[in-house]
Amino acid sequence: MQSLRQLLPSSVEHPGPVAKAVTIPSLRVEDAPRFTWRGMMLDVSRHFLPPADVKRFIDLISLHKLNRLHLHLADDQGWRIEIKSWPNLAIHGGSTAVGGGAGGFYTQADYADIVEYARRRFVMVVPEIDMPAHTNAALASYPGLNCDGVAPPLYTGVEVGFSALCVDADITYRFIEDVIRELSAITPGPFLHIGGDEVKKLSDAQYTRFIERVQSVVQSHGKLMVGWDEISSTRLLPTSVVQFWRPNVSPRAAVAQGVRIIVSPYNKVYLDMKYDSATVLGLSWAGNIEVRDAYAWDPAMLHADLPESSVLGVEAPLWSETVVDIRDFERMAFPRLAAVAEIGWSPARARVWEEFRLRLAAQAPRWSALGINFYRSPQIPWREAR
Ligand code: ACM
């Protein structure tokens, strides 16, 4: 359907009725994706996106034939999903955002509605509750989750690594059991992402015990665990999935365990990185990422220890420390998300930068008709609508 839609003139994408009949040549579409997992991640914890904005992103994702929407639902700055057995997580933990804004959260009904909206567009929602670090919003909501019984204040800054669940306390596992049970019940897709990244306050042994225990909780609810590449050092079920974000970390340990791998190298597809030094939004700790940087690489060539048979697919995360609303999210996603979409879809031999930049240029009238706030990269000879 999206291939057919892309054959129509861009004018059909304007809101409102189409003025005259449109025709396309008689043809047959023969097309199939290279990778199963073609994803984008929205960080709705650092800045919250209301359900209507998430739905707009789902529309834009499906237009580009992406099929996974990873929602980063909990981090230090905000807990964004209602958990009925622990209501303060959303009510208190969701009440602010980076910079001190009002935050927000999805009720379970909101979430179910988003999941169904996505499903009808062939997009699977993958929810993430990041743990054991990146948990200040939860720790602030329930004093009992803290080893010292004292809840820290809500956090509106952008540091990482200062929080950790009390991994040797029983209450922590009652909390995790409840959260995973409720989230599993409203998530029809098989995957549940448990984060596992950037843990600075636990020993290796504590971390390993924690991840392996959480993995068994996820499994007991019939789900497959996804985690950031830090989990490679733990004992993984072959059904678990590892998301590689650090390009300098070898996937050898993960591959040896037989797990499948999602590639999200931060120096290629972190959509929160600036395009160049003049970009107003975004961060630059992973370098600047122009459109060509996001396009001209291949998942199978990323690492000598990563055979293509282990690659489930590719995903572009959009962290939201500096992006505040849907206009900002769009600005950082487009055009780079189209580059990632093509990496996920097209065979490597069909991908040539000099051709891609012309095909991308031709998207401008379509994206303008859709009202997308996209970055006019100087690398692209844009063709705007007259
Ligand atoms: C990450 O960027 N900490 C996954």
Residues 114-166 have pLDDT tens digits of 999 999 999 999 999 999 999 999 999 999 999 999 999 999 999 999 999 99
Ligand 1 atom with the shortest distance to the CA of 264 = 4
Ligand 1 binding pocket mutation candidate from 75, 131, 200, 228 (most atoms within 8 A of CB) = 228
How far apart CA 359 and CA 363 sit, in angstroms, is 7
Query: Tell me: the pLDDT tens digits for 170-197?
Result: 999 999 999 999 999 999 999 999 999 9
Ligand 1 atom with the shortest distance to the CA of 317 = 2
> Tell me, what's the pLDDT at 325?
98
More confident residue, 376 or 386: 376
Distance 91 CA to ligand 1 centre (A): 25
Q: Return mean pLDDT, the chain.
A: 96
> Tell me, what's the pLDDT at 49?
98
Tokens of 242: 């590892």
Ligand 1 atom with the shortest distance to the CA of 319 = 2
> 58: how many CB neighbours lie within 10 A of its CB?
23
Q: Is 245 in the pocket of ligand 1 (CB under 6 A)?
A: yes
In the chain, what are the domain boundaries? 33-347
Q: What's this model's pTM, rounded to 2 decimal places?
A: 0.97
Q: Is 230 in the pocket of ligand 1 (CB under 6 A)?
A: no
Q: Is 315 in the pocket of ligand 1 (CB under 6 A)?
A: no
How far apart CA 100 and CA 154 sit, in angstroms, is 9
> Tell me, what's the pLDDT at 20?
81
Q: Is 198 in the pocket of ligand 1 (CB under 6 A)?
A: yes
The DSSP symbol for 154 reads: P
Distance 11 CA to ligand 1 centre (A): 39
Q: Is 244 in the pocket of ligand 1 (CB under 6 A)?
A: no
Residue 355: is its pLDDT beyond 60? yes
CATH homologous superfamily of 33-347 equals Glycosidases (3.20.20.80)
Residue 23: is its pLDDT beyond 90? no
As beta bridge partners, residue 243 has 228, 262
Query: Tell me: the pLDDT tens digits for 319-331?
Result: 999 999 999 999 9
Distance 321 CA to ligand 1 centre (A): 12
| Cβ contacts of 272 within 8 Å, gap of 6 or more | 43, 282, 283, 317, 318, 319, 320, 321, 322, 323, 332
> Tell me, what's the pLDDT at 1?
86
Q: At 229, which amino acid appears?
A: D
∠ Cα 14 19 24 (to 5°): 85
Residue written as token pair 């580009």: 64
Query: Tell me: the pLDDT tens digits for 55-89?
Result: 999 999 999 999 999 999 999 999 999 999 999 99
Q: Single out the residue of 213, 142, 140 nearest to residue 171, CA to CA.
A: 142
| Known catalytic residue at 116 | no
Distance 41 CA to ligand 1 centre (A): 11
In the three-class reduction of DSSP (H, G, I as helix; E, B as strand; rest coil), residue 313 is classed as strand
More confident residue, 18 or 353: 353
What band does 385 get if pLDDT is binned at 50, 70 and 90?
Answer: low
Query: Tell me: the pLDDT tens digits for 256-287?
Result: 999 999 999 999 999 999 999 999 999 999 99
Is cis: bond before 335, omega within 30 of 0? yes
Ligand 1 atom with the shortest distance to the CA of 243 = 4
DSSP strand E in the chain: where?
37-43, 68-75, 78-79, 124-131, 191-195, 224-228, 241-244, 260-263, 311-318
Q: Is 76 in the pocket of ligand 1 (CB under 6 A)?
A: no
